[in-house]
Amino acid sequence: MTTFEQAAYNTKQYRNLFKEIGYSEEEINAKLEGTWNELFYGDSDVRIYYPLDENKGYLLDTGNIDVRTEGISYGMMMAVQMNKKDEFDRLWTFAKEFMQHTEGRYKDYFAWHCKPDGTRLSPGPAPDGEEFFAMALFFASNRWGDGPEPYDYSAQARTILRACLHQGENGEGDPMFDPATKLIKFVPESSFSDPSYHLPHFYELFALHADEQDRAFWSEAAEASRSYLHKACHPVTGLAAEYANYDGTPADPQPHGDFRHFFSDAYRVAANIALDWEWFRKDPWQVEQSNRIQRFFRDIEVSDYRRYTIDGQPFEEAALHPIGLLATNAMASLAADGPDAERFVHLFWNTPLRSGERRYYDNCLYFFALLALSGNFRIY
């Protein structure tokens, strides 16, 4: 068999790395369900999900006390993977009612953050939210079936993807993907990208489910993103910048900060690459890249994680989300075949959820790693 033929997309088999290294099915299932319950219904210093009114709910960014499209769409992906339709629909209803624009330059995009009561804090979108919304909605459609609007999940997903590619063609606004390079932008108006936004495994599936006239674009976007990540990830350390130009080089400092280095956004790159390998196995480079980033962090204690230049020089500044970084380093084991893969999975298993003020981002990445490493981050 070719590598692609061995991918989960074809075999419908998902690796359970926890089981491979000795944990029992009972232990794994208990950990997965217990972690869901902690995040959605647990103690006040751990949970990140909150119901609102009779039909809505949100994930709270506990460090900034706001609600983000990142969090809502992540929560929807968690819910569809766990077969939790009520929480999924509550999150989607919140996003649809409070965050999605119905007119203007951002029509069908989502305001990237708002207050817990739904009041918008700024109108502009963050494209990683739109990607996760669309993928989670397609999975919901395939898992549960479409219902009446706004729970006609597949139609809602196609509307989002149509805007991502065609916004501005007939008036104001900008698309979320650069038409020339087929790379996702940091924001629609920008001329650079964010390596952690690149989800070729999603684009492969969009090529099956989006509007028919756009399916070739999504196939090309998957290949473009895989090639882009080769350039955005350092050839020795495996580290990527938070923001990077279309040629993969770190983007210039922005008015809101310097994002040329490996810090919070960039942690997701390793997880995305590993999941793309698990689902599609089209790019063997992903195996060595995953080995590379695990090799870089091999001898660094989680408590010593820092901000780094992409060539590996540490800053004095500590990592803001060390548990999240550990989670993505462990998730890299889906693709890695080096000596560090098993160690990172054990380390992750023995690390609890983060509690306290900054827990939101860490624990989102934690739950995705838990799904992936237990064979439960699946295509539906």
Range of the domain at 371: 1-42+234-380
CATH number of residue 9's parent domain:
1.50.10.10
Active-site annotation holder among 38, 61, 70, 131: 70
pLDDT number for residue 91: 99
Q: Is 70 a catalytic residue?
A: yes
pLDDT number for residue 1: 64
Determine whether 113 is exposed, middle or buried from the number of CB atoms within 10 Å of its CB (0-12, 13-18, 19+). Answer: buried
Active-site annotation holder among 265, 278, 283, 340: 265
Interhelix angle 285-297/268-279, rounded to 10 degrees, is 140
Dist. CA 286–CA 208, nearest whole Å: 23
100 domain residue, yes or no: no
pLDDT number for residue 170: 85
223 domain residue, yes or no: no
In the structure encoding, which two tokens stand for residue 372, read together?
């992936």
Q: Which of the 8 DSSP states describes residue 375?
A: T
Q: What is the mean pLDDT of each run of 10 residues along the chain (380 residues)?
A: 91 98 98 98 98 98 98 99 98 98 97 98 98 99 98 98 96 96 98 98 98 98 98 98 98 92 98 98 98 98 98 98 98 97 98 98 98 98
Q: Convert 243-262 to b/e letters by CB count within 10 Å (16 or more is b).
A: bbbbebebbeeeeeeebbbb
Dist. CA 123–CA 159, nearest whole Å: 19
- Evaluated on CA atoms 297, 303, 304, 308, the torsion sign reads positive
Dist. CA 12–CA 8, nearest whole Å: 5
Name residues whose C-beta falls within 8 Å of residue 147's C-beta, 6 or more positions apart in sequence.
153
The tally of domains found in the chain comes to 1
373 domain residue, yes or no: yes
28 domain residue, yes or no: yes
Q: Which of the 8 DSSP states describes residue 98?
A: I
302 domain residue, yes or no: yes
Nearest to 279 by CA among 222, 241, 337, 228: 222
Q: Is 152 a catalytic residue?
A: no
344 domain residue, yes or no: yes
249 domain residue, yes or no: yes
pLDDT number for residue 2: 79
199 domain residue, yes or no: no
pLDDT number for residue 85: 98
